[in-house]
Amino acid sequence: MTTDTSLAEICTVKREDIPKTVTEELSDTERDELKSRVKQLLKEQNAVMVAHYYTDPDLQLIADATVGYVSDSLDMARFGNEAEADTLVVCGVKFMGETAKILNPEKRVLMPDLNADCSLDIGCPIKEFSEFCDQHPDRTVVVYANTSAAVKARSDWVVTSGSALDVINHLHAKGEKFIWAPDKYLGQYIQEQTGADMLLWQGACVVHEEFKAIELAELIKQHPDAKVLVHPESPASVIELADVVSSTTGIIKAAVELDAKEFIVATDKGIFHKMKEAAPDKIFIEAPTSGKSATCVSCAHCPWMAMNTLRKLVECLETGSGEILIDPELGKRARLPIQRLLDFAREQKQQSLLSGDA
C-alpha cells in the first residue's frame, strides 16, 4: 500500500459484492405466528433482543414488546452489557454482534444472519489497516464502531457517530494527532468541526454515499419550511445542506424537539419507524438517492440490515445458528478501546447532569 490510489482500491467495496436488498414476503398470519414464536423462544432461553433502528419494523416492535431494546450501535452495546440475560440476539450487522460478544464474553450472542456485513467493515481489512497504522506510530488510532474485532483490537479508541466529535475534541485539546478509520465522510466532517490533524482511511457507507446534493437542494425548494436532518456518513455536499447533522439517535431527537412540521431525512429509511413513533404528528420525507446524478445501489436501505428477517430470527433461536464467536485474547484487546468510549460517555453524561445541561 504505497499510493492513495491503492488505498482507495482497498477501501472500495465492489458493486458485485453488495447484496440485493431482500424483502421477506409473509402473509399477516405467518407474520403473527413468527412474532409469537420469537417471543416464546426469547422467554424460554432467557434471551433479549437488541435491534438497530435500520432493521425491519417487525423486529423493532418485538424488541420493544419484550425486555429488549432498539437503538444505535453505542446504546446497543451499552444495553447488551447491562442486560441480565444468558443470550443476546443482535439484529443488525456483524460488527454489532461482535461488539456485543467482546463486551459480554460470557453470554451467547446470536445473529439472524452472519452474512449481514457493512461496507465500512469490509473496506477496512486488518492487514492493510495495520500496515497503515505502523507507518504512523505517532498518531492515536481512532476507529468507528463499524469495524471488525481485529481492527478494534489494533486501535486506541472506538467511537460511534454520536460520540466521535466529543472524543476527537477531547483528545485534540491534549495535542494528539489521529489516524481515523474507516468512514472518510464522517472523518472529513469531524476534521472540519474540530480542526484536528487526521489521516483518513478512505472507506464509505454504500447507503449514505448515495444521497444526492443536487436533488436534495431541489427537494428543499419544494419544502422550504422543512428541516433537513443528515447523518454524517453522507457526502460533504449533502452535509452542507443540513440543518442538523447527527447520529441516528440525534436525528430522532431533533425530529421530536425541533419546532417544524416537516423533515427531510438523509439516513437509512429504516429509521422512519422510530421517527413516526416518536413524533406521530410530523411529516418525514426521504432525502433523494436517485435523480440526475444517480448511481443508486441501495436506495436508502442497507442491504445487509435487510438480511435480518423474522424467519431467520426464529431459526437462530431454534437452532443456535448465527452464533458470534471471538478468540478470547482478541476479544480482550478489542474490549479496551470500546471500554474507553463507554467510560468516556458515562463521564460526559455525569458532567452534563452536574452542570444541568441534560
Closer by beta carbon to ligand SF4, 112 or else 172: 112
What is the rounded distance in angstroms from the CA atom of residue 209 to the CA atom of residue 122?
15
Mark 126-155 with x for binding to ligand SF4 (rule: CB under 6 A) and - for no binding. --------------------x---------
| Contact between residue 331 and residue 320 where contact means Cβ atoms under 8 Å apart | no
SS3 338: helix
Closer by beta carbon to ligand SF4, 83 or else 300: 300
Site for ligand SF4 in 53-82 (CB under 6 A): 54
Q: Judged by CB under 6 A, which stretch of 116-124, 148-156, 210-218, 347-355 contacts ligand SF4?
A: 116-124
Closer by beta carbon to ligand SF4, 35 or else 117: 117
- Phi, psi (degrees; rounded to nearest 5) at 200: -105, 130
Closer by beta carbon to ligand SF4, 194 or else 267: 267
What is the rounded distance in angstroms from the CA atom of residue 196 to the CA atom of residue 182?
16
Site for ligand SF4 in 276-305 (CB under 6 A): 302, 304-305
Residues pairing with 179 in the sheet: 141, 199
SS3 88: strand
* Nearest-approach distance from CB 236 to ligand SF4, in angstroms: 17
Q: Judged by CB under 6 A, which stretch of 170-178, 199-207, 273-281, 310-318 contacts ligand SF4?
A: 199-207
Count the Cβ atoms, other than its own, within 10 Å of residue 105.
12
Instruction: Say whether residue 207 binds ligand SF4 (CB under 6 A).
Output: yes
Closer by beta carbon to ligand SF4, 194 or else 247: 247
SS3 138: coil
Strand order of the β-sheet with 108-110 is: 69-71, 47-52, 87-91, 108-110
Instruction: Say whether residue 308 binds ligand SF4 (CB under 6 A).
Output: no
Cell numbers for 258, please give them: 425541533
Binding residues for ligand SF4 (CB under 6 A): 54, 93, 118-120, 146, 205-207, 268, 302, 304-305
